[in-house]
Structure formats: structure tokens, C-alpha cells
Amino acid sequence: MLSILKAISTTFHGVGITPPPILAIEDIASTEKQRLFSSGIRDYISIPIIKEELLYRIRNAIHHVESVTDAKEHKVSANEMLAIRTAEYLKSHIANEISLNTLTKEIGTNRNKLSSAFNQTYGMTVFSWIRQERMRYAANLLKNTSLTILQVSESVGYPDSNNFSTAFRRAFNQSPREYRANNSINASSKEIHA
């Protein structure tokens, strides 16, 4: 774990950036998570710490560093950089309710420019992208953790588990429970030992 954090720090220094705070640790029941972001934290991990979630968050931090490095090494257009920066912001706020007005204020642009940049770079709208990213992350949590469906739902920005289940079924053609039963690491090991 320490080597991953050193790699992040080295990568930031390699591109001439002072490393920002990357992760904070916060109780899963905390209602003050928003204050972390206003203090400059890019992301948080909930207590109790789940190894897979921690690794996911660290990979996102590394991906952010690589995006910054790629942008400096390759000539990335202003629109691409805007879309990449927005995607990184969205990933680090995946559990939060996000409005387009708040997003444009945080990123420092307007709706039309952001929508255009996102469509050019990712081929979809901002909200299609975040929905897809939330479902991908939810599938990872269902597959690799023992979090309840409600905890997974809240971890990906759905305070209502019924809305989450509907969105998940739309994305994967199966309920979160069915997905976990068919794809979890424990389900695979049960089949091997049976």
C-alpha cells in the first residue's frame, strides 16, 4: 500500500505538481462528507475499510495523475482536458448528488461548453457517463465486497435502493442480488468446491 502512495507522490512531483490530499477516511454513517471536498480532499473511503474499495479509490487517484501526465506529454485539446478534468471530479464525487449547475461552477465553465467537450471526448452526455460509471463501480462492489445492497446503493449516489435496483437492472439486465449471486468471488469459489 505504501508503495502505491509513494508512486502517486513521485508521479505528481514528476510532472511538477504538488500532491493534493488524495483520500480521507470517514465513518460510513457520517453526514458531513461534503465538508471533506470543500477542504480540498479529492475522495474519501468509508470506515469500516473494505480492501477492494480502497484499491478502487487509489486506482482512481493514479488514473488522475496519469491523465495529468498524458495531458502534459501529449497535446490534448482544451475540450479534452475539460472533459477529463470533469470526469475526474465526477469519479471523486460518485456518491454525491450532482447537478449540472453545481458541476459547471466547480469546473469553472458553462453548460454548453461542458456538454460539447464531454460529447466530443466520451461520446455521451455528462449524466449518461456518470450513470455508466456508477453502475460499473456498483458492479465491482457487488462482486468483490459483502456490502449490503443499500450500502452499495449509497456508495454510488443512490440514496433510494429501489431507484438503484431499477437503474442496475437497466444496465445489467439483472437485479443487484442476481448479479452478486452470479458474479461474486464467493459464488465462484462455491462452484469450484462443489
**How far, in Å, CA of 147 to CA of 150, rounded?**
8
Q: Is the distance from CB of 153 to CB of 95 less than 8 angstroms?
A: no
Phi-psi region of 108 (alpha: psi -120 to 50; beta: other; left: phi over 0): left
Whose CA is closest to 143, among 53, 19, 64? 53
**How far, in Å, CA of 186 to CA of 182, rounded?**
10
**pLDDT tens digit string along 61-85?**
666 666 655 555 556 788 888 898 8
**SS3 assignment, position 46:** strand
Instruction: Give the highest mean pLDDT range of 93-107, 130-144, 177-191.
Output: 130-144
Q: What is the mean pLDDT of the chain?
A: 76
Within 10 angstroms of residue 141's Cβ, the number of other Cβ atoms is: 22
pTM of the model: 0.60
Please give the pLDDT value at position 24: 67
**pLDDT tens digit string along 132-182?**
999 999 999 999 999 999 999 999 999 999 999 999 999 999 999 999 999
Find the range with the poorest average confidence among 22-36, 81-95, 106-120, 137-151: 22-36
**How far, in Å, CA of 125 to CA of 118, rounded?**
6
